[in-house]
């Protein structure tokens, strides 16, 4: 089957064509990062306007690059949450229009299921599975006993991991989004600051990054006040080590409590080299579990991952009708029931 998929939850306008949920025929991603950088983050109104300007071109390019026509499509899949409401609405409206005009089923996809199903574009997912989803807005440990069941067993109580990267990056003078550059700096420094690892020893799977962020910012501000120059590489390395330690420790704890066949690392922060190599090391203690690192090209927001998740939902007959609305705060304890309002 051929699914045309849409992703507009934040600052990338993306349209893809996916074959059988596993093969990328095209994956057009129009990023808006340049327009948001001067504001230091994503401005919702600016994002919506860019999505409107880009979406039609992205649809045409996706079909053209895939060499597929509308009549050959099986279904349309779209991210309907979570994300920015105005941004989501552009994708949802475009997907509804295509589905209606070409009499195609409409599949509503949770953006976070997309980040996990990016793994499906490499290999079939083995169940039961565990996913660590780390992105700009989320930090979640998700247990998947079977296909189309997502149980959050742990999540951040405050900031998301990516959000923390972006905020401390700003203090280091790095443009939004800062994650990739902080990661690169971290590899040139050492963990000399020993920042707090919040909740690391707690007997749960939750995370907290706001204390770490504050400790980082206070350290830099204090040094500024006494005109002391701190080593930026060491600051980045110390921050990254604290983030990676808690993410890895909680994931290991989860793997002990929930034996799974596969551990999936997905989301924008899954591109982090420190986190990837740490999990590659930790997984050796779990011979029954294979580690699936989402490829770097599919960690950030893209429609291909939405098509992969959409195909799974298609097989489970999860469809929406023309009343589908954007759901900015869509929860993830989501059993894939049909969506209608």
Helix axes 179-186, 232-257, angle to 10 degrees: 100
What does the DSSP 8-state code read for residue 330?
-
Residue 133 counted as an annotated binding residue = yes
User: Which one among 2, 4, 10, 134 touches Mg ion, defined by CB under 5 A?
Assistant: 10
Among all residues, whose Cβ is closest to ligand ATP?
268
Burial class (CB in 10 A: 0-12, 13-18, 19+), 123: exposed
Count of H helices and E strands in the chain? 10, 10
Told to check if 177 binds ligand ATP by CB under 6 A, we report yes
Residue placing its CB nearer to Mg ion in the complex, 41 or 211:
41
In angstroms, rounded to a whole number, what is the distance separating the alpha carbons of residues 168 and 232?
11
Residue placing its CB nearer to ligand ATP in the complex, 105 or 114:
114
Binding to Fe ion (CB under 5 A): which residues in 316-335? none
| 308 binding partner (options ligand ATP, Mg ion, Fe ion, none; Cβ < 5 to 8 Å by kind) | none
Structure tokens that stand for 89 in this block: 């609405």
**Measured distance between the N- and C-terminal CA atoms of the chain, rounded to whole angstroms:** 28
Cα 259–141–139 angle (5° rounding)? 160
Candidates 207-215, 259-267, 301-309, 314-322: pick the segment binding Mg ion (CB under 5 A): 301-309
Candidates 67-75, 96-104, 161-169, 188-196: pick the segment binding ligand ATP (CB under 6 A): 161-169
Residue placing its CB nearer to Mg ion in the complex, 189 or 268:
268
- x-marked contacts with Fe ion along 120-159 as a string, rule CB under 5 A: ---------------x------------------------
- Residue for token digits 């989004």? 177
Residue placing its CB nearer to ligand ATP in the complex, 28 or 73:
28
Candidates 6-14, 69-77, 205-213, 259-267: pick the segment binding Mg ion (CB under 5 A): 6-14
Binding to ligand ATP (CB under 6 A): which residues in 227-246? none
Residue 86 counted as an annotated binding residue = no
Candidates 57-65, 85-93, 250-258, 295-303: pick the segment binding Mg ion (CB under 5 A): 295-303
Strand pairing category for 262-266 and 151-155: unpaired
User: Which one among 138, 167, 213, 278 touches ligand ATP, defined by CB under 6 A?
Assistant: 138
Told to check if 268 binds ligand ATP by CB under 6 A, we report yes
- x-marked contacts with ligand ATP along 282-301 as a string, rule CB under 6 A: ------------------xx
- When computed from its CA atoms, the radius of gyration of the chain, rounded to whole angstroms, is 20
Told to check if 189 binds ligand ATP by CB under 6 A, we report no
| 272 binding partner (options Mg ion, Fe ion, ligand ATP, none; Cβ < 5 to 8 Å by kind) | ligand ATP
In angstroms, rounded to a whole number, what is the distance separating the alpha carbons of residues 110 and 310?
9
- Residue for token digits 């005109």? 227
Under a CB-based contact definition with an 8 Å cutoff, are residues 195 and 212 in contact? yes
Binding to Fe ion (CB under 5 A): which residues in 294-313? 301
In angstroms, rounded to a whole number, what is the distance separating the alpha carbons of residues 92 and 321?
11
CB atoms within 10 A of CB 334: 17
Burial 23-50 (b: 16+ CB within 10 A, else e): ebbbbbbbebeeebeeeeebbeebbbbb
Q: What are the residues binding Fe ion (CB under 5 A)? A: 135, 301
Binding-site positions for Fe cation read: 111, 115, 301
């Amino acid at each position: 089957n051929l699914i045309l998929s849409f992703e507009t939850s934040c600052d990338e306008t993306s349209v893809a064509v996916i074959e059988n949920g596993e093969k990328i025929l095209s994956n057009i991603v129009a990023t808006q990062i340049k327009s948001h950088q001067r504001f230091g983050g994503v401005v919702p109104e600016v994002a919506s306007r860019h999505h409107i300007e880009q979406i039609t071109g992205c649809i045409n390019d996706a079909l053209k690059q895939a060499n597929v026509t509308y009549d050959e499509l099986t279904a349309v899949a779209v991210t309907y949450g979570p994300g920015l409401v105005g941004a989501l609405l552009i994708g949802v409206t475009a997907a509804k229009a295509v589905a209606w005009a070409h009499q195609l089923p409409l599949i509503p996809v949770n953006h976070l299921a997309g980040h996990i199903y990016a793994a499906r574009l490499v290999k079939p997912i083995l169940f039961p599975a565990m996913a660590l989803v780390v992105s700009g807005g989320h930090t979640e440990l998700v247990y998947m006993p079977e296909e189309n069941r997502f149980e959050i067993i742990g999540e951040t109580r405050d900031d998301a991991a990516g959000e923390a990267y972006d905020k401390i990056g700003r203090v280091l003078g790095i443009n939004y989004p800062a994650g990739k550059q902080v990661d690169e700096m971290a590899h040139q420094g050492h963990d000399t600051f020993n920042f707090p690892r919040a909740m690391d020893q707690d007997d749960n799977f939750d995370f907290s990054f706001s204390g770490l962020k504050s400790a980082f910012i206070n350290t830099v501000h204090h040094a500024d006040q006494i005109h002391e120059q701190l080593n930026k590489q060491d600051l980045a390395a110390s921050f990254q080590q604290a983030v990676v330690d808690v993410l890895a420790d909680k994931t290991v704890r989860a793997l002990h409590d929930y034996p799974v066949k596969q551990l999936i690392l997905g989301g924008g922060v899954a591109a982090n080299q420190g986190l990837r190599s740490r999990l590659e090391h930790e997984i050796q203690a779990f011979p029954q579990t294979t580690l699936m690192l989402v490829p770097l090209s599919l960690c950030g927001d893209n429609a291909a991952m939405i098509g992969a998740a959409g195909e799974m939902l298609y097989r489970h007959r999860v469809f929406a009708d023309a009343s589908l609305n954007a759901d900015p705060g869509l929860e993830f304890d989501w059993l894939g029931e049909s969506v209608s309002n």
